[in-house]
Amino acid sequence: MPLSETPDPDTFDALARRALALVMPGHRAVLGIAGSPGAGKTTLAVQLAARVNELSAASGGPGAPFAMHLPMDGYHLAESTLRRLGRLDRKGAVDTFDGWGFAALLQRILVERDHTVFAPSFDRRVEEPIAAELAVEPETQLVIVEGNYLLVDDGPWAGIRGLLTEAWFCQTPDAVRVSRLVVRHELGGRSPEAALDWAESVDGRNALLIESTMARADLVVSGVTGAVISRA
Ligand SMILES: Nc1ncnc2c1ncn2[C@@H]1O[C@H](COP(=O)(O)OP(=O)(O)OP(=O)(O)O)[C@@H](O)[C@H]1O
Ligand SMILES: [Mg+2]
């Protein structure tokens, strides 16, 4: 959905221009957007990629796939793996993702420029990743990656910050996030009570870790209005 609550359309456009400016000739830039569950990372990244492509084309440069959106969600561990590891009841926690795999993908994106780099997507209908559904084409010069744990300074995640040309943190008030998550969990088949419980307990625990990583971002962006909240 559009960032319809944006009070001033120029604020979102300023972000898109900033993202476009990350691309230096001959180099592929990676913009990372971190944030808590339901903060609006995916919505922001999808719209940014579309707007950057428009701005590039309008100035005589290449359009899509010049900029693309690449979610971390495809690195969710399969449910069968989570069951084997005894982690299915906290799906979405930091240790329910293949962090090393995601870090390796980012390294490949930076060096493998002469062929398509395929990446997994995440299908919310079945709650499972799908191999190689996403494609980073050689023409792509700005990859907008987004996910919960991009700025965690531990284990496989610790090296990711150094691979990002710039890092943004998408911030949304807890009450707004929780109400968004409840809607999503209900659509996924949970009862209203179970949806609220998951949003507050499992998602809430994850949000505590994620919010603690905000200081590692260059820019804090509102997941409600798409405007800059603060700069590093
Ligand atoms: N600016 C906005 N105004 C109104 N609704 C929004 C806005 N941004 C996102 N939403 C809605 O909030 C919900 C969560 O957004 P989104 O999926 O982008 O969040 P996310 O941070 O990617 O979540 P997750 O961590 O679970 O992947 C969606 O239903 C989306 O349509
Ligand atoms: Mg998302």
Domain boundaries, the chain: 9-231
Peptide bond into 192 cis (omega under 30): no
Pocket test for ligand 1, best of 5, 33, 43, 73 (most atoms within 8 A of CB): 43
175 CB within 6 A, ligand 1: no
Closest ligand 1 atom, CA of 45? 18
Q: Can you list the positions of beta strands (E) in 14-55?
A: 29-35
Q: Which residue, judged by its Cα, is nearest atom 6 of ligand 1? A: 40
40 CB within 6 A, ligand 1: yes
Q: Ligand 2 center to residue 44 CA distance, Å?
A: 9
39 CB within 6 A, ligand 1: yes
What confidence category does residue 3 fall into, taking pLDDT thresholds of 50, 70 and 90?
A: low
For 53-87, the pLDDT digits (tens) are 999 999 999 999 999 999 999 999 999 999 999 99
SS3 of residue 9 by DSSP: helix
Q: Which residue, judged by its Cα, is nearest atom 11 of ligand 1? A: 40
For 139-181, the pLDDT digits (tens) are 999 999 999 999 999 999 999 999 999 999 999 999 999 999 9
What confidence category does residue 105 fall into, taking pLDDT thresholds of 50, 70 and 90?
A: very high
101 pLDDT more than 70: yes
SS3 of residue 71 by DSSP: strand
188 pLDDT more than 90: no
Fold of 9-231: Rossmann fold (3.40.50)
For 106-142, the pLDDT digits (tens) are 999 999 999 999 999 999 889 999 999 999 999 999 9
1 CB within 6 A, ligand 1: yes
Query: Which residues lie at CB < 5 A from ion ligand 2?
Result: 42
Residues 217 and 168 sit within 8 Å (Cβ to Cβ):
yes
Average pLDDT, the chain: 94
Residues 52 and 23 sit within 8 Å (Cβ to Cβ):
no
Q: What is the pLDDT of residue 100?
A: 98
Q: What is the pLDDT of residue 7?
A: 41
For residue 169, the ligand closest to its alpha carbon is 1
For the record, the structure tokens of 67 come out as 């900029």
Q: What is the pLDDT of residue 8?
A: 56
